[in-house]
Amino acid sequence: MSVFEDIKTGLLEAIEYEKGNIKAETTRIPNNLTVSAIKEGRRIAYDSNSKGFKHIDDLRKDLEV
Domain extent at residue 24: 3-63
| pLDDT surpassing 60 at residue 12 | yes
Residues in the chain: 65
10 contact partners, CB below 8 Å, separation of at least 6: 34, 37
More confident residue, 22 or 8: 8
| pLDDT surpassing 70 at residue 11 | yes
Number of structural domains in the chain: 1
Q: Which long-range contacts (CB under 8 A, 24 or more apart) does 43-51 make?
A: none
Closest CA to 57 of 19, 5, 28, 2: 19
pTM of the model: 0.37
Report CA 29 to chain centroid distance, whole Å: 15
Q: Which of 4-13, 15-24, 48-57 has the highest mean pLDDT?
A: 48-57
More confident residue, 3 or 45: 45
